[in-house]
Amino acid sequence: MRLSKDTYFNETNFEIVAINLFAAGTETTAITLAWGLLLMMRYPDIQVRQEIENVIGNERCPRYEDKKNMPYTNAVLHEIQRFGDVAPLNLLHQTSQDTTFQGYKIPKGTKVIPLLSSVLFDKTQWATPFEFNPAHFLDADGKFVKKDAFMPFSAGRRACLGETLAMMELFLYFTLLMQKFKFHPAPGVAVDQLDMSPSPGFTASPQPFQLCAEIH
């Protein structure tokens, strides 16, 4: 099917959207999983494995519908995304009309950079913003709680187009890895020696690291 050049949804636009979905989604998902493996090594007491055994077992692969029965794993995955802060500056936005925000006049066409880190590490929103703490997403009964300040995909009408797909991929990949393997630091490296600082760049990936995967 050939798309019309006279509409906004034309062939060029379609190609760019498709490229963005594959390129942006692949990189950010891979980086988030890298943060997940690093954090699981750094905090070996995180009990994701126990919930996986209780809900899924070892005989079948995880399914996305398992997520609703796995609040702890879901909380851990959300905390990985919050703490990893993979896209701290998000993507460049632009005002489509003259806007007033908190008393400031922002003219139409102004470039806007949404600093997501300011929300993901906000002391007023998180009990321990600079620590890895899955309890940020759990209530007193151990049920998963979604937080308004959880914005790794940005917010509003121009939030990440692939958020739903990314969350599905992350849950399936992360849960499968935790089901099949136990991860350890490389020989001679203590867990408290693992570097938690991000590598500078457009996306915030962890510093290069080595790991050992032990089959369960």
The domain that holds 185 is classified in CATH as 1.10.630.10
Distance, in Å, from the CA atom of 149 to the CA atom of 146, rounded to the nearest integer, reads 9
- Is 174 within a domain? yes
- Is 3 within a domain? no
Q: Give the domain extent around 88.
A: 11-215
- Please give the chain's pLDDT, 216 residues, in tens: 455 556 667 788 888 877 777 766 788 899 999 999 999 999 998 879 999 999 999 999 999 999 999 999 999 999 999 999 998 888 788 888 999 988 999 999 999 888 889 999 999 999 999 999 999 999 999 999 999 999 998 877 777 777 888 899 999 999 999 999 999 999 999 999 999 999 987 789 999 999 999 997
Distance, in Å, from the CA atom of 133 to the CA atom of 151, rounded to the nearest integer, reads 16
Q: Could you give phi then psi for residue 111, rounded to 5 degrees?
A: -75, 135
Distance, in Å, from the CA atom of 110 to the CA atom of 83, rounded to the nearest integer, reads 30
- At residue 162, the pLDDT reads 76
- Is 6 within a domain? no
Q: What is the number of structural domains in the chain?
A: 1
111: enclosing H helix or E strand: strand 111-112
216 to 41, 62, 133, 183, 212: CA distances (angstroms): 15, 15, 25, 10, 13
- Is 5 within a domain? no
- At residue 159, the pLDDT reads 78
- At residue 6, the pLDDT reads 64
212 is in an annotated binding site: no
- At residue 24, the pLDDT reads 66
DSSP-based three-state secondary structure for 183 = strand
- At residue 8, the pLDDT reads 67
Per-position b or e across 89-104, b if 16+ CB within 10 A of its CB: ebeeeeeeeeeeeeee
Q: pTM, whole model, 2 decimals?
A: 0.87
